[in-house]
Amino acid sequence: MRSKTTYDGRARAVITLTVLVCLLVPVFGFQLCRSTVIPAAETRVLISLSKWPEVFHDCSAMFAFMFSTGGCVALLAMLGIIDFRFVRSLRTVLGDIIVAASPIVYVTGIKWLVERPRPITAAQSNLLPSDPSFPSGHTAGAVIVATMIILTVRNAAYRKMGDASGQYRGGGEASARSTSDNAEQNIIADYTKRAVLVCAILVVAVAASRLLLGVHFPTDVCTSAIVCPLISYTVWIIREHLRLAKEQRNNA
């Protein structure tokens, strides 16, 4: 009961934080549009980044195509197929995709609500999207793909441990089951942590690529990198609570 209360408390805290951040983001965006000091400072950063070696700009152009709308759809489709191989449930895969892709609705809405102009460094770019600058859609796309990768790795770990536990529990002893459960949870947590670390590096790389191309202000990419994981995590928490509630009703 105590762990359930703690979990519920954490869930409420995350949901509350996400709602507050989502409410503050448009306010922050309007302030950025009215400000002259912050965009000027950010533009100086972008100009300095434009002097980096050409190889960084080539990699940034590659990320621009990979995490465009079409690129993200293709990556999600591929990850969905991989995810299905582990879970063997179309409903679970669709749920994972919804969790991963949920931030894009919010990001798109804020873009057209705030309508922050692109930086002047984007004027000569042939990779400039037609939508407003704030928040970064490509960074949101990177978070979406990263979230799907994490969910897929997590499902793969559960599948692997499920197979292993099925063999190990053949003896039927309670102590063996308890020891096995703890070991499995530790391994799954380890897989998940590694996936989160790799995906965090991916999101940072994509966010940096948007700055190197000069098509986004630093505050654009930072906002997406903060709010998008919060939204996906909140949707995942709600999904898990609904799933557990359904299981409890079925077992009652």
Q: For residue 168, how many other CB atoms are within 10 A of its CB?
A: 15
* Mean pLDDT computed over every residue of the chain: 87
Q: What would the pLDDT profile of 56-77 be if each residue is shown by its tens digit? A: 989 999 999 999 999 999 999 9
Average pLDDT over residues 17-40: 96
Report d(CA 223, CA 218) in Å as an integer: 9
Residue 199 has pLDDT above 50, yes or no: yes
Contact of 111 with 134, CB cutoff 8 Å:
yes
Q: Which residue has the tokens 């906002």?
A: 223
Average pLDDT over residues 25-30: 97
pLDDT at 11: 87
| Number of H-type helices and E-type strands within the chain | 9, 0
pLDDT at 162: 65
Average pLDDT over residues 225-247: 91
- Band of residue 252 on the pLDDT scale cut at 50, 70, 90: low
Report d(CA 40, CA 119) in Å as an integer: 9
